[in-house]
Structure 1
Amino acid sequence: MPVPRGKKPTAIGGSKIPKLTAAATENQEEGPQVKRSSSPPHGAPKKRTAFIDITNAHKVQISLPGRKKATANKQAKKTSSASVPAQNQANLKKSSSVSSEGTTAEKEKAAVEEAQKDVAAPTEELVAAAPPAAREVPAHLQKQAIPEEFDIDSENSDDCYMCPEYAKDIFDYLKQREEKFVLCDYMPKQPSLNPEMRAILIDWLVEVQENFELNHETLYLAVKMTDHYLSLTPVHREMLQLVGSTAMLIASKFEERSPPCVDDFLYICDDAYKREELISMETSILQTLSFDINIPTAYRFLRRYAKCVSAGMDTLTLARYYCEMSLMEMEMVSERGSLLASACLLMALVTKDLGGWRPILQFHSGYQVSDLAPLVRKLYLMLLAPPDDKLTAIRNKYSHRVFSEVACLPLVNIDVLEKALSQ
């Protein structure tokens, strides 16, 4: 047991545990209202903090970074405040030694004015040292006002979840962020894969999304992560399904409130992989993508742009069908999500005879009709091609009445489409 300074340990009754003194016992019985003695009980060790003795804390001065400067400033303030009365007294004595000419009232008035000057001097220095007034925000940093005819967010001003003040800024940021995730045709880097295998994988992921009732954002993000991983890492064909299912697992954790568990994904893979393999692939994908998986997808832009023209659910669902069909095409991998969403929406508007690309769409998307025309023609040729009997998940999905059976609608006439693209 530590020995208190200046006292000898006292053993009572042969017990090693010292008894409390009468004063300490009274303090414990009276509760917190009675001020406790700062001295420790007889024979008990003194209380200590992590660094110093509590009982001597008021005597110890710890040198910490920034403490000296603060103490010096404090002492300087005390000195300056103390010097003001001293100067006032000196001035009063000086004024009392002035010649007896004039009345006593004039002398007192002169002394008071002199004292006020001494007191006002520090005040003027403080005013001079005060920080300048807040400056106006520069023009290039000011938020640009949205024209009234292009404002689509003010109607949600009472809904904080819609973020109406920042909605356009958020999508402008996502559009700029797309440049970081631009892909190219990576199949030449995959010696054991081909575009058909990738299309089969995407078709299977659509079925997984339906069976688990996952969000569409989860599907689009899983496809994006799969493409980015395959663009950086060669994968054998036997491991391709593991890559896709693991990407769907990661996307579910990112997008879903209640994502499926690992065992669910092992089950849908028909137990072709072990649990350790899936977890190892999850680690590999995240490390390869540097844990940056917030990739802008076409689905998010599509919902935003459809809101600009107040498109109905049937029109939006038709644009979703075009966009989802493009996921299986290898030549669409290099297209930016915002551009793909704009092209799909333009095709849906023309198909529904709702007009072409409006100024409000150009304002929010940043694309003109001339920017969309090449991609719209690619989408038209993709939809015009005969369907593959092996890839039926998306067509069957959008042939259901839940999705307004938009997959059964005929394609718009090419002349009508070209007329809308020439405007």
Structure 2
Amino acid sequence: MPPLRAKKPAATAGAKGPRPHATTTENQEEGAQVKRSSSPPHGAPKKRTAFIDITNAHKVQISFPGRRKKKEATKKPPARKASAPSSVATKNQANLKKCSSESSEDAPAERETPEEVEEEEEEEEEEEEAAAAPVEELVVAAPPAGGEVPAHLQKQHVPAEFDIDSESSEDCYMCPEYAKDIFDYLKRREEKFVLVDYMSTQPSLNPEMRAILIDWLVEVQENFELYHETLYLAVKMTDHYLARTPVDRELLQLVGSTTMLIASKFEERSPPCVDDFLYICDDAYRREEIISMEADILQSLRFDISIPIPYRFLRRYAKCVSAGMDTLTLARFFCEMSLMEMELVTERGSLLASACLLLALVTRDLGGWSPILQFHSGYRTAELSPVVRKLHRILSAPPDDKLRAIRNKYSHQVFFEVASLPLVSGDLLEEALSQ
């Protein structure tokens, strides 16, 4: 496999500009949104909307004097039950005659053709028959017995001590009414994206090559200042594509850069363009190759790229214990390090996020897996222990000098230099897991 070459992206229209290093609540993950002028040039025709014309302008009908409009056949709604049907029918017939006489007085005199006379007589006969018909009773569907809501639509009761969304009731962007339902849905959706160890089906690849690719994708995420969600989604799509399609080692970097392009379109406000990814690959591939690979990946994944990623669960679970930004960043460092490990590819995102948060809490001596975390995650400490032990073993191993992107990234002061913090000892970890 050729060495992965990376350049800092050129200042193109699709890439984001540099940002100052200042600590924010999200470690400077948000980028400036590109503003585009919407005013047309002088003398240019007015542009149409992106979708269809949603106004009623196209429905305006122009009536010409002296020309009789043809009545459209409309389905009449059933009339309500009345005490005296004969009187209602008489009033309807009188109103119809009155309306027809007023319209004939307003319209200028015009000689009618035999076809129009015959058509008018047929309409009058239909109106008389409708007026003479008995009034139908309005049938109202009976409500379900007892007003019971189906089980799948019933909202799960959240105890007051486990409620973490009521404090955001005034913030519509937090969706407090649906937050738990959304994450429960994502957790159920994980079953569709369970992976197995696919490396045995890749004759030209090995776990070390995949780790080099992930390390390079972290550098791409930093150079383009992309969201962390974009990185996680790109890694997930890469694994799902490799689990379905054998790939030659010379095309592995093309797969990684293409999944990052797709993830950027899915997550970013202003995603980098194709030329930016060609430049970051040092022009190792052509434009037609990355576009063809994009189509191949999307078709292989059946265009279902809304894959639950551990990063989203991690932020949700950290909110349960009101974890500080330094603790959350430490858990994010553990979670990002897990991306390079092939033995953790088979783990579900929610389970991996829970294990990373538990290891961060124990490392900072903030307690273990509390009941509120068990309620929202659905995992007990015994279910998390095997993954926590794997993470501890991986992080305790001597770092590889060739794979330094994540450690260098989290050694910066913006990320509280969490990569340089000492890891909890094995004895303390076992004591916390046994509780």
Q: Tell me which interval the TM-score lies in, with the shorter structure as reference length.
A: 0.7 to 0.9
Number of the residue aligned with 2:193: 181
TM-score (norm 2): 0.71
**From 38, 47, 57, the counterpart of 2:66:** 38
Q: In the TM superposition, what is the alpha-carbon distance from 1:83 to its structure 2 partner?
A: 7.5
CA distance in 2 between partners of 1:302 and 1:160 (Å): 21
- Does the CA contact (< 8 Å) of 2:196 and 2:346 recur in 1? yes
- Give 1:14-413 correspondences, 5 Å limit: 36-39=64-67, 55=68, 57-58=70-71, 70=75, 81-82=85-86, 126=137, 129-133=139-143, 135-138=146-149, 140=151, 141-413=153-425
- Does the CA contact (< 8 Å) of 2:278 and 2:285 recur in 1? yes
Whichever of the two has the greater Rg, that structure is: 1
2:342 maps to a residue whose letter is: M
Which sections of structure 2, spanning at least 5 residues, go unmatched?
A: 1-62, 91-133
Q: In the TM superposition, what is the alpha-carbon distance from 1:56 to its structure 2 partner?
A: 6.2
CA distance in 1 between partners of 2:88 and 2:222 (Å): 82
> Matched residue of 2:156: which SS?
coil
2:319 maps to a residue whose letter is: K
Q: In the TM superposition, what is the alpha-carbon distance from 1:369 to its structure 2 partner?
A: 0.2
1:201 maps to a residue whose letter is: L
CA distance in 2 between partners of 1:36 and 1:197 (Å): 76
- Does the CA contact (< 8 Å) of 2:81 and 2:137 recur in 1? no
- Does the CA contact (< 8 Å) of 2:411 and 2:419 recur in 1? yes
CA distance in 1 between partners of 2:157 and 2:230 (Å): 34
> Matched residue of 2:167: which SS?
helix
Q: In the TM superposition, what is the alpha-carbon distance from 1:136 to its structure 2 partner?
A: 1.8
1:63-94 per-residue CA deviation (whole Å, 9 max, x = no partner) reads xxxx6xx46968x999x9337789xxxxxxxx
Q: In the TM superposition, what is the alpha-carbon distance from 1:139 to its structure 2 partner?
A: 6.5
> Matched residue of 2:220: which SS?
helix
Change (3 A) 1:83 1:243: same
- Does the CA contact (< 8 Å) of 2:78 and 2:137 recur in 1? no
1:102-156 per-residue CA deviation (whole Å, 9 max, x = no partner) reads xxxxxxxxxxxxxxxxxxxx99x948x4332465233723212211110000010
Number of the residue aligned with 1:4: none
Q: In the TM superposition, what is the alpha-carbon distance from 1:336 to its structure 2 partner?
A: 0.2
> Matched residue of 1:132: which SS?
coil
> Matched residue of 2:388: which SS?
helix
2:387 maps to a residue whose letter is: L
- Does the CA contact (< 8 Å) of 2:195 and 2:345 recur in 1? yes
2:70 maps to a residue whose letter is: A
Change (3 A) 1:283 1:83: same
Change (3 A) 1:84 1:265: closer
CA distance in 2 between partners of 1:178 and 1:211 (Å): 30
CA distance in 1 between partners of 2:295 and 2:89 (Å): 73
2:328 maps to a residue whose letter is: L
Q: In the TM superposition, what is the alpha-carbon distance from 1:36 to its structure 2 partner?
A: 4.8
Q: In the TM superposition, what is the alpha-carbon distance from 1:379 to its structure 2 partner?
A: 0.5
CA distance in 1 between partners of 2:77 and 2:271 (Å): 59
CA distance in 2 between partners of 1:386 and 1:316 (Å): 24
2:389 maps to a residue whose letter is: R
Which sections of structure 1, spanning at least 5 residues, go unmatched?
A: 1-34, 40-54, 87-121
1:274-294 per-residue CA deviation (whole Å, 9 max, x = no partner) reads 001111111111111011000
Change (3 A) 1:326 1:85: closer
Change (3 A) 1:358 1:271: same
2:268 maps to a residue whose letter is: E
Q: Considering only aligned residues, what root-mean-square deviation do their CA atoms show, in Å? A: 2.5
Structure 1 range deviating more: 198-207 or 187-196: 187-196
1:150-176 per-residue CA deviation (whole Å, 9 max, x = no partner) reads 000001000000000000000000000
Structure 1 residue 417 and structure 2 residue 429: aligned?
Answer: yes
Change (3 A) 1:245 1:56: same
CA distance in 2 between partners of 1:139 and 1:214 (Å): 42
CA distance in 2 between partners of 1:71 and 1:172 (Å): 46
Instruction: Number of aligned residue pairs: give it.
Output: 328
> Matched residue of 2:298: which SS?
helix
> RCO higher in 1 or 2 (8 Å CA, sep ≥ 6)?
2
> Matched residue of 1:214: which SS?
coil
> Matched residue of 1:355: which SS?
coil
> Which has the larger helix fraction?
1
Name the % identity. Answer: 73
